[in-house]
Chains A and B, each alone.
Chain A
Amino acid sequence: MGRYIIRRTLVAIPTLIAISFVIFLILDLAPGDPTAQLPLTIPPDVRERLRESLGFNDPMLIRWLKWLQQMMINEPLNMVEQIFGITIGESGSRTRILSWASRAPVVDTIIERLPQTMWVLGLAFIFGIIIAIPVGVISAYKQYSAFDNVGTFVSMVGYSVPTFFTGLLAIVIFSVLLGWFPSFYSTTHVVDWTSWGSIWIQIKQMIMPVAVLSLFNAAALSRFTRSAVLDNLNEEYVRTARSKGLGENRVIFRHVMRNSMIPVVTLIALQIPGIFAGAIITEEIFRVNGLGQYLIRSIQGADVPAVQTLTFIFAALTVFFNLVADITYGILDPRIRYD
């Protein structure tokens, strides 16, 4: 197992480098120019020097390698310095990935926006699992019952209705008609953890994005849980467990659940990158100032370094959670033997 984990991790590194190259290659075709936003009064030779200083005139391969160095070496070093308050080497002369739009380091903006995304996504993810697994297990255990029929239909609907429609519908119903929640996320609200009023405002503005996203996650997951449990309920070992006189609870929770959770846990890990894609849409609807919204703004503003870095982060997350899914599958199911 240990060798398998190490080998899979080592394979992930060239994959990531290949992906970053593909993204760079696609972006290199962009007609973007870092000096396009500057006033027209700047003379052409100054403009040219600006381009030179940003490294815009280097060949593509050089720019890619520079970016790779900044992303993989410089930024992690900066983070280590900030966390531990130490200085490693000449930290002042280390170049950083600069946004063309704001001239600020892209990674700083990402760190600024990360908490909002993580809160919404994390809560949606947890609530999705909390809803989906009991619903899936009960549906399977009481197959063709009223609960199962309703549950299966609702999860099919939840899985088919896209989040950009449920989100708008939620705003129409709960903000416009009922006025319960604010229609968009207030980015200036700073949560004061000592005052209930402040926390309540934060909860109120997070309810809709979290609910929309978690219901969507729950729908897909409960369908999958149901079929995984159904597969196991028909196995012989369940009959054996019952015939030796085990209580129904014990059969379900100790025998069936443990076996059917193997594919479910894998799916949960595989779903995480998809949740990030869902975040792009949810953040756009509810105007949450997270990473998804940053990506959309950078794409609209042709901010190539920001787009490059964000897309790479999404790719890295996908690769990472694929790896986690493979490894958990191997750990949970000893029958899986990888060569």
Chain B
Amino acid sequence: MATTQERAGQTTEAPVFEDRKHRSLWSDVWRQFRRHKGAMVGVVMLTIITLACFVGPYFYPWQPEAQDLSITNLSPSWEHPAGTDSLGRDVLARVLVGGRISLAVGLAAMTIGTVIGAALGILAGYFKLLDGPLMRLTDLFLALPILPLLLVIIMLFRDRLRGLFGPEMGIFILVVSIIGVTSWMQTARIVRGDVLSIKKKEFVLAAHSIGTKERRMLMRHIFPNTLSPVMVSAALGVAVAIITESALSFLGLGFPSDFPTWGRLLFESKDFLQFAPARVIWPGVLISLTVLSVNFIGDGLRDALDPKLRSR
């Protein structure tokens, strides 16, 4: 991509177009991204949800842990917009605070998965010797039944990590790291494919001929050119991580009950479906809206980063 970018730069700086403003790659990407309606709606929605979760609770009158056994299982009202749960806690307050954890898990797990995936992909694509073993490893991970394994691992290590890092941090570290460690394979495959083709480009040959060292070659020339597939798969990775965390919590094997996440809140409310059906709506809608926004942003990024689609 650097070559196309440089070429594009040359043409725009040609004397004929002198009055035109200089256009960088990222401003082009941003211009294309803004045209994708779904992606823009996704950005707005995700911003609102994030703000509501991280700032909202400071302005909201109810505390998520405050129990009041005289007002259990209330239906939604002006005082409690989402009703109360079986211990008289305000559901909306819990949903907002729970969102912090769900979003944090999504981001952290995506970061781990993307870093591992990009690193292994670049190594496998660039060094011929590592290609075979690393791709076998990727195939092996792809063949693992992820959800059953995640459930098993959480069951086994929950207590141990809780003892080490405390009940909240322990389970957070466990959930984030196992989701991250089991979600890097697609990124690695895409990045490897890209590196294989970038390696053959002239600018790499040029860099080699002026004596660029391997490490600098990877960081300065190869890695920046794989950024667009990495960004797209990172965006989609957030969605996958949020869904996986919610699924684990929904099966009762994620976060403990005093530590609400959206999945955990769904798990708790599913036993009250008969007389408090409204309670599943809030956490479910927020999971769905977040994942939907993230997926739309991913779609928009993919279109914006594709040089074939990006109009000059």
Contacts and interface: CB of A to CB of B under 8 A. Distances in A.
Given A168-B280, A296-B151, A162 B291 contact: yes
A71 interface: no
A172 B247 contact: no
B287 interface: yes
Contact of B277 (A15, A161, A177): A177
B247 to A, nearest CB: 6
B266 interface: yes
A318 B144 contact: yes
Nearest to B286: A165
Contact of B251 (A22, A284, A302): A284
Interface string A283-326: 01100000000011001101000010011001101110010000
A164 B288 contact: no
Interface in A128-160: 153, 156-157, 159-160
Given A160-B295, A273-B145, A277-B146, A26 B152 contact: yes
A168 B156 contact: no
Contact of A319 (B143, B156, B287, B296): B143
Given A15-B140, A169-B284, A23 B149 contact: yes
What range describes how many residues of A lie at the interface? 35 or more
B287 A165 contact: yes
A161 B281 CA distance: 12
A171 interface: yes
A290 B299 CA distance: 36
B145 A315 contact: yes
Q: Name, among B149, B152, B155, the residue most crowded by chain A CB atoms within 10 Å (CB to CB).
A: B152
A156 B143 contact: no
A311 B145 contact: yes
Contact of A29 (B156, B281, B299): B156
B239 interface: yes
A162 B151 contact: no
B288 A277 contact: no
B246 interface: yes
Given A27-B156, A168-B273, A161 B148 contact: no
Contact of B280 (A169, A281, A296): A169
B5 to A, nearest CB: 26
A114 interface: no
B66 interface: no
A183 B274 CA distance: 9
A159 B139 contact: no
A31 B251 CA distance: 21
A172 B277 CA distance: 6
B102 to A, nearest CB: 12
Given A29-B157, A281-B250, 11 more contacts: A19-B144, A26-B152, A30-B155, A156-B295, A160-B292, A160-B295, A161-B287, A169-B281, A169-B284, A296-B151, A310-B148
Interface of A: 15, 18-19, 22-23, 26-27, 29-31, 153, 156-157, 159-162, 164-165, 168-169, 171-172, 176-177, 183, 273, 276-277, 280-281, 284-285, 295-296, 299-300, 302, 307, 310-311, 314-315, 317-319, 322
27 contacts: A15-B140, A27-B152, A31-B159, A157-B292, A160-B295, A161-B291, A161-B292, A164-B247, A164-B263, A165-B280, A165-B284, A165-B285, A165-B288, A168-B266, A168-B280, A169-B280, A169-B281, A172-B273, A183-B273, A273-B145, A280-B148, A281-B251, A295-B148, A299-B152, A299-B155, A307-B152, A314-B145
Q: Which 3 residue pairs spanning A and B have beta carbons closest together?
A: A314-B145, A165-B284, A160-B292
